[in-house]
Amino acid sequence: MKPIISVRNLVVEYEERRVLDGINLDIEAGETMVLLGGSGSGKSTLLRHIIGLESPKSGSVLVKGTDITRCSPAELKAVRRSIGVAFQSAALFNSLSVKDNVALTLREHTALAPSIIDLVVWMKLAVVGLEDFGTLYPQELSGGMKKRGAVARALALDPEILVLDEPSAGLDPIVAAELDELILLLKQTFQMTVIVVTHELPSAFRIADRIAMLHQGVFRSIGTKDEVKASRDPYVRHFLDRVPENMASAPAVAAYFEKYLHTQEAQE
Amino acid sequence: MATFVENVGRKSLAQLDYLGRLSIQFWETLRSIKAALPFVGNRYRWQSSVRQMLQIGVDALPMVALMATCTGFILAMQGASELRRLGALHFVIDLVAVGFTRELGPLLTAIAVSGRSGSAFAAEIGTMKVTEELDSLRVMALEPVEFLLAPKYLAALITVPCLTIAANVCGIFAGGMFMFFSTHLSPLLYVREALDSIALRDVITGLIKSVVFATIIAHVSCLEGFRVSGGADAVGRSTTSAVVKSTFLVIVADAVFTAIFYFTGKP
């Protein structure tokens, strides 16, 4: 089966610093792919290329057969209408109420009557459990509610692909678990392809069909949950077993302070 | 020496890059401004334009009126103190009327709009940039230039000339007040003299200037917002930069236009 998203030899550089180093990834329609990795591993950068917000140095990203790194603005717009994105910061428009945030794409991209739009908005808010909070503004919501509002907005046009950037970052474990269940429910109900960027292991193993683990711009492991768990790659093992890599050693800290004191004394 | 040349080259390239971005943004806005028009465009964009008109125009009216009235008084008093010695006090009417319609009305209005609305444009767009709201717009297949800039530009194009006319009326009214209290000149006579001294071309050149000033303020301020990268401090810097650059460019454009009108015989 042809993948719905196909990343080929993607190279991304920021001021000559290579962030993604020729990576390849296929995401099948209807699966939940979790992009796992530590901070600065390049997973959010990969996500921004998958949704066409940035252009790579080389390589291609095919979404539903369209290479979004080389297509026309009109083609990119058409592809984007089939993708719903919930950003890490939720990025709800602060000047609009939650229901207006959800209604925005419906008003802009469909010819639905206002009463139908209201109904669709209410349904989307009900899916994420915010049906009683539609009239509130983003600044009046808690962190978890904002993220759920962002998911509702991403679902507005019934996208084929749902992209979630760090959905559980900064949330307490109960709210994070609620969001995981919501993602599972959405996938089960709407049969959509879900891409989730996260570094939260419990969340990743709860929701993923497959996991791609990124480290220093390359994939260290791509496979099912069991395949990733069984990986022998040293970084994957460190990550899964929570082994610290760059730990400050007590003697090194003591030596630093000793050297600093000597320098101060010499200056006096 | 090499470093000096390098620095000059780098700064020149940066300025050219800025001008290039400004030009691209301007053409993109012209292409998408149709969407902000009533009847033929998108009704949500037109609603946004009307909201912007209220903010740029109606909300600024008291401030612009007060500034113009004060400046009208100042101009009349300063002019009178010199003209009285020459026995030509009645020329104060010409000074205020022509000075406001050609020059002070458009310039004062542009400075007020730049300070009030230019800073607001840059802060709004800059904040949207740092909170990923602009990225949200793009992934929702909505163009930020059409969604944010076009309604602001259309609103500025309509409201700045209207505010300029209001500033002209207030400035000339202040001159009339001064003449009434200092020489007991009847208001009716003052109005007749003022209207006699203003030519239609003075009003038109003033309005042409105000349209150009509106273009400068809207585009420079929005570009400063779009260029924000970083956090809250960057938004603050962009807001300051928007006001400084747009005010500076308004004054430069005013000098250029005045020179053109002067040398082409239409001062």
pLDDT in tens, A241-258: 877 766 667 777 888 888
Judged against a pLDDT cut of 80, whether residue B131 lies above it is answered with yes
pLDDT at position A247: 65
pLDDT at position A264: 85
Residues of B in contact with A93 (CB under 8 A): 128, 133, 136
Q: Answer yes or no: are the C-beta atoms of B205 and B164 closer than 8 Å.
A: no
Number of neighbouring beta carbons within 10 Å of residue B67: 19
Residues of B in contact with A96 (CB under 8 A): none
B-chain residue closest to A159, CA distance? B140
pLDDT at position B267: 46
Residues of B in contact with A77 (CB under 8 A): 141
Two tokens, residue B121: 């444009």
Band of residue B231 on the pLDDT scale cut at 50, 70, 90: confident
Pairing of strands A83-86, A161-165: parallel
Residues of A in contact with B44 (CB under 8 A): 107-108
- Mean pLDDT, rounded, for B36-59: 92
pLDDT at position A39: 83
A85 touches chain B (CB under 8 A): yes
CB nearest A108 (choices: B131, B133, B142): B142
CB nearest B141 (choices: A81, A88, A91): A81
Report the DSSP beta bridge partners of residue A61: A7
pLDDT at position A115: 95
- Mean pLDDT, rounded, for B80-90: 87
Residues of A in contact with B141 (CB under 8 A): 77-78, 80-81, 105, 108-109
Interchain pair A87, B136: CB under 8 A: yes
Q: What is the mean pLDDT of chain A?
A: 89
B131 touches chain A (CB under 8 A): yes
Interface of B with A in 138-157 (CB under 8 A): 138-142
Q: Answer yes or no: are the C-beta atoms of B174 and B108 closer than 8 Å.
A: no
Strand order in the sheet with A17-27: A17-27, A5-14, A58-63, A66-67
Predicted ipTM of the assembly: 0.84
Q: Answer yes or no: are the C-beta atoms of B171 and B70 closer than 8 Å.
A: no
CB nearest B138 (choices: A53, A78, A105): A53
Judged against a pLDDT cut of 60, whether residue B72 lies above it is answered with yes
A87 touches chain B (CB under 8 A): yes
Distance in angstroms (rounded) separating the CA atoms of residues B159 and B45: 17
Judged against a pLDDT cut of 60, whether residue B266 lies above it is answered with no
- Mean pLDDT, rounded, for B86-114: 93
Residues of A in contact with B131 (CB under 8 A): 89, 91, 94
**Least confident span in A230-244, B26-40, B68-82, B242-256:** A230-244
pLDDT at position A223: 92
Distance from CA of A47 to the nearest CA of B (A): 12
Residues of A in contact with B142 (CB under 8 A): 104-105, 108
Judged against a pLDDT cut of 90, whether residue B157 lies above it is answered with yes
Interface of B with A in 26-45 (CB under 8 A): 42, 44
B-chain residue closest to A150, CA distance? B136
**Least confident span in A175-189, B112-126, B147-161, B239-253:** A175-189
pLDDT at position B155: 97
Report residue B93: phi and psi, to 5°.
-60, -45
Can you list the alpha helix ranges (DSSP code H) found in B33-132? 43-53, 61-83, 91-99, 105-113, 119-130
pLDDT at position B142: 92
Q: Answer yes or no: are the C-beta atoms of A97 and A135 closer than 8 Å.
A: yes
Distance in angstroms (rounded) separating the CA atoms of residues A228 and A205: 10
Tell me how far apart the 2 most distant CA atoms of chain B are, in Å: 70
Judged against a pLDDT cut of 80, whether residue B2 lies above it is answered with no
**Least confident span in A161-170, A238-247, B58-67:** A238-247
Higher pLDDT, A39 or B160: B160
A94 touches chain B (CB under 8 A): yes
B133 touches chain A (CB under 8 A): yes
Interchain pair A93, B136: CB under 8 A: yes
Report the DSSP beta bridge partners of residue A164: A86, A196
pTM of the predicted protein model: 0.86
Distance in angstroms (rounded) separating the CA atoms of residues A187 and A71: 29
A89 touches chain B (CB under 8 A): yes
Q: What is the mean pLDDT of chain B?
A: 93
Interchain pair B135, A81: CB under 8 A: no
Interchain pair A107, B133: CB under 8 A: no
Mutate to test the interface with B, among A47, A54, A98, A108 (most CBs of B within 10 A): A108
Q: How far is CA A157 from the centre of its chain?
A: 19
Q: What is the CA radius of gyration of chain B?
A: 21
A105 touches chain B (CB under 8 A): yes
Distance in angstroms (rounded) separating the CA atoms of residues A110 and A100: 15
A-chain residue closest to B135, CA distance? A53
Higher pLDDT, A250 or A107: A107
Q: How many CA atoms lie within 13 A of A175 on its CB side?
A: 13
Distance in angstroms (rounded) separating the CA atoms of residues B65 and B236: 28
Question: Element (H or E) spanning A221, and its range?
Answer: strand A218-224
Interchain pair A104, B42: CB under 8 A: no
Question: Element (H or E) spanning B190, and its range?
Answer: helix B187-197
B-chain residue closest to A83, CA distance? B139
- Mean pLDDT, rounded, for B13-40: 93
